[in-house]
Copies of this chain bind each other. A is one copy, B any other.
Amino acid sequence: MYHEMSYRVPYADTDQMGVVYYANYLEYFERSRTEMLREAGLSYSTMEKMGYFLPVSEAYCKYSGSAHYDDLLTFRSVIEEVSRVKVKIRSEVLRDGKLLVAGFVTLGCVNADFKISRLTPEMIECCKKCMAEEEN
């Protein structure tokens, strides 16, 4: 239901509280959704070469646990909603099966001139593959 990938926390991601700095989870979400889309056949870099961009219009994180240096984390994502012009993706960060951080981003679709653009049928098709079954 979710695409999963692993990630090892580098020193660079920690702060002086001894945990991963809170903004870094948005970068983790990016890594996670990129791999999810790639697996569904929609490489984000290919999309950009075709002239489509997906800037983030909204982001939310709920922090319920802390990741530490050298933790081997699991990232997973699922698409919650897809419309003609935007996509909402939920992402989660876990360690040993325990949920640490969960959140979502909403991505709008724009063209090379940063004008709002419709997702192509191929993009919508791929996004639907990344939706949880009960929502699909």
Task: Give the interface of A toward B (CB within 8 A).
Answer: 8, 10-12, 14-19, 21-24, 26-27, 30-31, 34-35, 43-45, 48, 53, 55-64, 66, 68-70, 105, 114
Contact = CB atoms under 8 A, between A and B. Distances in A.
A contact face: mostly helix, strand, loop, or mixed:
mixed
The 4 closest A-B pairs by CB, nearest first: A23-B26, A45-B70, A14-B16, A12-B27
Given A60-B60, A61-B59, A62-B57, A11 B18 contact: no
Contact of A45 (B21, B22, B45, B69): B69
A56 B45 contact: no
Given A45-B69, A58-B63, A60-B59, A23 B15 contact: no
Copies per assembly: 4
Contact of A23 (B8, B23, B66): B23
B69 A16 contact: yes
Contacts of A63: 55-59
Contacts of A16: 11, 14-19, 68-69
Contacts of A64: 57
B19 A23 contact: no
A15 B12 contact: yes
A55 B11 contact: no
A22 B8 CA distance: 19
